[in-house]
Structure 1
Amino acid sequence: MGLFVLMPISCCVLAAPHRLLHEQALAIAKDRDVSAATKVLKLSELAAADDPGDSGLAQGLNALRDRLKMLDVVLAHDFIFRTDDVDLHLAQARMAFNELERMGGVDPEMRDLMARNQTAAWNIEDARLLLPERPGKEGGLLPDKLVFDDYTAGRPAYVRLDGDIGTVTSVDLTKGPRIIVVAGCHISDRAAMAINDSPALKQAFEDARALWVAPASNSADLKAIRAWNARMPDQKIMISYRNNEWTALDFSVIPSFYFFRDGELVAEVQGWPADGSIPDELLQALTRIGKARE
């Protein structure tokens, strides 16, 4: 099992004369004939649509639930593809949720939906308020608070999960060699084990201060991340604090290896062989940053 699913997919088809907003969002998301940029644009346009009119309690509740589900799909793409509309769409989701709560229509599904997105935005207090009756499940995996250690706004930063604390730290890519690994799936697991099993390769990654980073995502599995870190303490996965700050990374491709030297991105390697062998491209990239495996 991987740590992430890009977005939840539903196969339910409703027999309505016009597709609901959530159905429209899923159709856009699953369209393989358009680029990611086009999908993001279409989803943003869908999110900008006016809320459906409230002509009765049941219809109003259903319309608000539909809008929240649609915004969940929109936010999934916002986070992964680093759009500038995360805060806008999250605010729209908050408004729909608050109205649904005012009408007495909040159920566990809607509460979980909002909590996932608040967690992805690292709004820890808001996420915990949404899960007051569920200690030990999703709420129990969240850090109690964030602390900022050597953090500079605007620079790429990650969150390290240390028990009940999430520590936010910025990354300096401008000095010397550096490897950033976008991780968070079973293939990443395979790559990490292969690197760990090779003493020379493991040393090269340590010398290049390799950092394994998962994207902030509304489908992140914090339990799986904590389990990974317990299993592989030398290659712990951190989580992006603000995806938009990692301008050189593509969070939609996992795993990906980015090789920097004095701030310059000099090589990128995507994926990992199914047979567990070390990709030649990765060895060449290590040479380019002066960390060739001996």
Structure 2
Amino acid sequence: MTARNFTTKRPSVWWPLALVCMCTAQAREVPLPERYRTQIQAVNKDRSASVQDRAERIRQSYLSYFEPYAVGPDLPIEDLQALFDAAYMMAGYTIHHRQSESPRYIQRMTQALSALRAAGADDEANVRKVYAALVASRRFDEARAMIASERSLSEERIAPIRVPVRFERDQPGYFDVSEGGEVVLRNVPAPSEGVRILVVSGCHFARDAARDITADEALSAAFSRAKALWIAPPDGQFDTDEVRRWNAEFPTVRLRIAYLTEPWRGIDFSRIPTIYVLRDGAQLAKLTGWSGSESLEQLRAALRKAELLDDTAAQLREGTDAATVRRVAAQRPALPTAHPDARRGSRAAPSPPSP
């Protein structure tokens, strides 16, 4: 290659770099608080998009406009707060999406909190957000240390948790809360063939669903045959007392709390309630939300399709000939008794509030 050719090609290498530098400089002219409101907070409020879509859009904005900043005392308080809020938003979304990235955002939050305090901006709300992020990511030892050191968290409590030696953290797991308040971390039992039911639960709509299902003899029997698992998504509260209240009200549909969401492949914890009907790991039906009689009919249809619903009792109550009912029932396949396979596969689950 001659010197002339080299000189001719050189601008094609440096021109894009110049564009990147110019664009980055222009982007940083927008104040960080405004960037937070338009690029992160506004996207978080867009309920027309899925949680995963919002999380990815916010993540791209975060990487472009917030992560390049070094957190330090030289930044204005407003910028430090925007950096904190952006990291908090990302930490919240990692509950449902890219959970393995949670530590980087929590670290950023703690750095920003320290810088804010050094600048004289000591907001208890920020302390509670760091605490909630630690709890949601299951970093309980650090959360307990915050309780001991932060006056604003003095009323918080995390129950002791027993972790069996054989618990596998990379497999679906949940916290089981006994009537007496003991908390044990368990893996989902090994799946077997057949139809299973899993219910993402925990809100008042899910409570309505539990009440309607347990009041229906045929549905209750179908859920029992499938050994339905009712499980709440992770959040920043870890309210085991609420789980005990639920279990006291609905002893036949005990509620558990998910350990982490990432191992539950194919299960979306972002909408409550969501009922999954699975056969041999494949999704047969997914019902989101609960609206009383309409949802009951949709559920019955899904369970009939799965050959899980036994309508014999209901037909007899409606006056159907008993011999016909027995004949139809005898022709049905045997109902499976397998545990839900969560490894394959309304209300929005708790997501980051808009600071």
SS in 2 for 1:244: coil
1:69 equivalent among 85, 105, 108: 85
Measured in 2, the distance between the counterparts of 1:207 and 1:256 equals 19
* Maintained 8 Å contact 1:258/1:269: yes
2:296 corresponds to which letter in structure 1? P
Residue of 168, 171, 175 corresponding to 1:159: 175
**Structure 1 unmatched ranges of 5 or more:** 1-15
Distance 1:150 1:209, change over 3 A: farther
Aligned counterpart, 1:169:
186
Structure 1 range deviating more: 236-245 or 91-100:
91-100
In structure 1, the residue matched to 2:262 is 244
Structure 2 residue corresponding to 1:95, chosen from 97, 102, 111: 111
In structure 2, distance between residues paired with 1:68 and 1:35: 24
Say whether the 8 Å CA contact 2:181–2:241 is kept in structure 1. no
Per the alignment, residue 182 of structure 1 pairs with 200
Residues 18 and 89 of structure 1, relative CA distance in 2, 3 Å threshold: closer
- Asked whether the equivalents of residues 159 and 166 of structure 1 are also in contact (C-alpha less than 8 Å), the reply is yes
Residue type at the aligned position of 2:141: E
- Name the counterpart of 2:37: 23
What secondary structure is seen at the aligned counterpart in 2 of 1:279?
Answer: helix
- State the SS of the aligned residue for 2:163: strand
Equivalences for residues 103-252 of structure 1 within 5 A: 105-132=121-148, 133=151, 137=155, 139-140=156-157, 142-148=158-164, 151-162=167-178, 165-171=182-188, 172-218=190-236, 223-252=241-270
The CA RMSD measured in Å over matched residues stands at 3.0
Q: Give the letter for the 2:80 counterpart.
A: L
More helix by share: 2
State percent identity of aligned pairs. Answer: 24
Q: Residues 63, 239 of structure 1: CA spacing in aligned structure 2 closer, same or farther, 3 A cutoff?
A: same
Equivalent residue letter for 2:308: K
| Partner AA of 2:37 in structure 1 | E
Q: 1:116 to 1:55 in 2, by over 3 A?
A: closer
Point out where structure 2 has 5 or more consecutive residues left out of the alignment: 1-29, 312-355
SS at match of 2:46: coil
Q: Which has the larger radius of gyration?
A: 2
| Aligned equivalent of 1:41, options 56, 59, 72 | 56
